[in-house]
Amino acid sequence: MKTMEEHAEFKDSYQDLESRADDIAYSLRKLPTDYKLADRCAEIEFAIEDIKEWYDKRKKEFEEYELEKKFVLDRVELIDAHLKRLYNDVETLKLHELSRARLIRRAYSCD
């Protein structure tokens, strides 16, 4: 997964495109109307807007991921601690059972 810094670098690149398109659109408005050029400019501006919307959506998802990740990592640590305690309890029980079985064998072997 990309880091937020890499995501921000991507934002810089599409904002550069947006700025250049705005400059061209501004120049076109000062000139006599050329519908072919105006349509090309509009198509590019729509494409840039699509990229901007994609970026905003992914940024929100990334921020949500980062928030949820902290919660999930805390849960992982908690579950890990529970598993360690469970493992220790099972090992303790196994040792008790082994000791009990030895005592029973000794009791029967002494007879």
Count structural domains, the chain: 1
Q: At what angle do helices 35-110 and 4-30 cross, to 10 degrees?
A: 170
Domain span holding position 15: 4-110
Whether 5 shows a pLDDT value over 80: the answer reads no
Read off the DSSP letter of residue 111: -
pLDDT band at 2 (very low <50, low <70, confident <90, very high): low
Cα atoms found within 13 Å of the Cα of residue 7, Cβ hemisphere only: 15
User: pTM (2 decimals)?
Assistant: 0.61
Instruction: Write down the mean pLDDT value for the chain.
Output: 90
Give the model confidence (pLDDT) of 7-37 as tens digits: 778 889 889 999 999 999 999 999 999 999 9
In terms of C-beta density within 10 A (0-12 exposed, 13-18 middle, 19 or more buried), how is residue 46 classed?
A: exposed
CB contact at 8 A, 38 and 28: yes
**How large is the average pLDDT for residues 88-92?**
97
Percent of residues, the chain, with pLDDT higher than 70: 95
